[in-house]
Amino acid sequence: MFLEQFTKESGQQGWIEVICGSMFSGKTEELIRRLRRADFAKQSILLFKPFIDDRYATEAVVSHQGQSWEAKRIAASIDILHIWSGQQIVAIDEAQFFDKDIVQVCMELANKGARVIIAGLDMDYKGLPFGPMPQLMAVAEYVSKVHAVCVQCGKLAQFSHRTVSQTEQVLVGAVEKYQPLCRGCYQKAHS
């Protein structure tokens, strides 16, 4: 389980947590759940989202189920360091859309004592590692992989199957463009 408190003996201790998985696996819901627990404990929180993600709201992170939390929308990961003013919790949603500098930004925040919570897709629609997520998982103290349910067979799903013909890697969308599939159903869809 997660060490979700700061030790009093040595002051605030920082670390990095990554929540990853396919679309519709509950990544954002888990991120918001962790933020609610920290908020209940009166810890200071700062949440970021990439500028490209405007699906449900521009100034909030919103899960597919409608849960939301106020967020700062930024264009580059370095903006996080310019906005951060010592908050105990720094959370980042849709981390796969950020530039490669997000890894160094997260490490710097953790080194300065922040608890950094990151949520993002671990694989793109082709089933390949997505953006900076592999590096973020490598430097994190804690990694949680969450799964959706395959819409074809009901097994655990770890693939984000694209249902539209666009082929660019980044295509922001929800149920109108993607569906979660297990390995077997994903392979069938791509054969």
Interval 95-151: pLDDT, tens: 999 999 999 999 999 999 999 999 999 999 999 999 999 999 999 999 999 999 999
Q: Is residue 97 part of a domain?
A: yes
Total of domains in the chain: 1
Residue 116, CB-side half-sphere exposure with 13 Å CA sphere: 27
- pTM (2 decimals)? 0.88
Which amino acids are annotated catalytic?
94
- Angle at CA of residue 25, ends 145 and 164, nearest 5°: 120
**What's the burial of 66, exposed, middle or buried (CB within 10 Å: 0-12/13-18/19+)?**
exposed
Q: Is residue 53 part of a domain?
A: yes
Q: Is residue 1 part of a domain?
A: no
**Containing structural domain, residue 39:** 15-146
Residue 125 sits in a domain whose CATH number is 3.40.50.300
